[in-house]
Copies of this chain bind each other. A is one copy, B any other.
Amino acid sequence: MPVPVLERAAAEMLDWQGTGMSIMENSHRDKKVVAMAEETQAVLLELLGLGSEWKVLFCQGGASLQFAMIPLNFAVGEVADYIDTGMWSTKAYQEAEIVGAKPHLAASSKADDFTYIPREYKYSEKPRYVYLTSNNTVRGTQWPSFPQDAPAPLIADMSSEFLSRPLDLSKFALVHAGAQKNVGPAGLTIVLIRPDFAETARKNVPHMLDYRTYIEHDSMFNTPPVFAIYVAGLVFKWLRDEIGGLAKIQKLNQAKAEYLYNAIDQSGGFYRGTARVDSRSPMNVTFRLANPDLEKTFLDEAKKANMAGLNGHRSVGGMRASIYNAVDFQAVKTLVDFMAEFQKKRG
Contact = CB atoms under 8 A, between A and B. Distances in A.
B98 A223 contact: no
Interface residues of A, number: 50
B224 A64 contact: no
Given A14-B6, A187-B187, A187-B188, A24 B68 contact: no
A63 interface: yes
Contacts of A3: 14
A13 B24 contact: no
Given A187-B227, A227-B228, A207 B6 contact: no
Interface stretch (A114-122, A177-185, A249-257): A177-185
Contacts of A1: 22, 24-25
A80 to B, nearest CB: 15
A9 interface: yes
A277 interface: no
A180 B10 CA distance: 19
B25 A95 contact: no
**Copies per assembly:** 2
Contact of A207 (B95, B224, B231): B95
Nearest to A209: B68
B64 A61 contact: no
Contacts of A225: 60, 185-187, 225, 228
B13 A208 contact: no
Interface in A177-229: 178, 180, 184-188, 204-209, 221-228
26 contacts: A1-B22, A1-B24, A1-B25, A6-B24, A9-B13, A13-B13, A24-B185, A24-B186, A24-B231, A25-B326, A27-B309, A60-B61, A62-B208, A62-B223, A64-B221, A67-B206, A67-B208, A68-B208, A72-B206, A95-B206, A95-B207, A98-B204, A186-B226, A187-B226, A225-B228, A228-B228
Interface of A: 1, 3, 6-7, 9-11, 13-14, 22, 24-25, 27-28, 60-65, 67-68, 72, 95, 98-99, 178, 180, 184-188, 204-209, 221-228, 231, 309, 326
